[in-house]
Structure 1
Amino acid sequence: MVAWADYKAEAKKRGALALELYVAHSTPAKAPEDVKASLPDHLAYQARLEAEGKLAFAGPMSDESGDHMQGMGLIIYRAESLETARALAEDDPMHKSGARSFTLRRWMINEGSLTLSVGLSTKTISLT
């Protein structure tokens, strides 16, 4: 097993991005009505984190077939450390209330792309 810091240093040497983010896999821990009751506070919390630059991506996930929603979610944080990311996840109203539980892991982004399109005359923005 390779230590995280060593792995990150090696990735940077190879020219990889080595952007460290933190991924919370959030799953229901109580009844659907408990999850639903926490939803407004959860969404407000995520909007605040997004405005503060601490939330990279978040959203629900399907089951393995891709056809059904099972209440699972993925939340990707920008933070200085795993401990800071854990505090962000723990402060989420869904997790604080016990309606959902989470696992948290470091994620190193090395490859990939995003496309941003800005329509000047139409004042539209598209991210793909």
Structure 2
Amino acid sequence: MPLWTEYKSQAKARGSLALELYMVHSTPSAAPEDLKANLPDHLAYQAEQEAAGRLFLAGPLSDETGEQMQGMGLIIYRAESLEAARAIADADPMHQRGARSYTIRRWLVNEGALNLSLNLSAQKISFEKD
């Protein structure tokens, strides 16, 4: 299996986007009341990361049935390296205070579509969900 940098170079050579992002899978490691107590600080931290351009996407995950929420979350960061992304994740109050633990992975975005509509004079932005 090729090393990450070699794989990324090969993807770019094939014409893929090869955008490197960092995926954090955050899981509860404390009681539900601890999660709830840390939620305001966590959300404020996420808003700071978004304003700074480091947070790409984030939100809760369901269980495998798709019906229940169990406190797990997925966070996608923009960062200059895996180490920098890990530092961002470590500073999240949920992780810092032990209410959640996480795993982090590099994510090489190659394919897909995102449809946005920007109407300048109406000062309107919309996102196509379907």
Calculate the TM-score normalised by the size of structure 1: 0.95
CA distance in 2 between partners of 1:86 and 1:50 (Å): 16
The CA RMSD over aligned residues, in Å, is 1.1
What does residue 105 of structure 2 align with? 105
Q: Could you list the runs of 5+ residues in structure 1 that have no partner in the other structure?
A: none
Q: Secondary structure at the match of 2:90?
A: helix
Superimposed CA distance per residue, residues 33-79 of structure 1 (whole angstroms, 9 cap, x where no aligned partner):
00010000000000000000000000001111111111110000000
Aligned residues: 128
Task: Read off the aligned partner of 2:114 and give its amino acid letter.
Answer: L
What does residue 83 of structure 1 align with? 83
Task: Read off the aligned partner of 1:111 and give its amino acid letter.
Answer: E
Superimposed CA distance per residue, residues 6-46 of structure 1 (whole angstroms, 9 cap, x where no aligned partner):
00000000000000000000000000000010000000000
**Cα deviation, residue 124, structure 1:** 3.1
Q: Secondary structure at the match of 2:17?
A: coil
**Cα deviation, residue 2, structure 1:** 1.3
Q: Could you list the runs of 5+ residues in structure 2 that have no partner in the other structure?
A: none
Q: Secondary structure at the match of 2:126?
A: strand
**TM superposition outliers: structure 1 runs of 4+ over 6 Å:** none
What does residue 52 of structure 2 align with? 52
Task: Read off the aligned partner of 1:113 and give its amino acid letter.
Answer: A
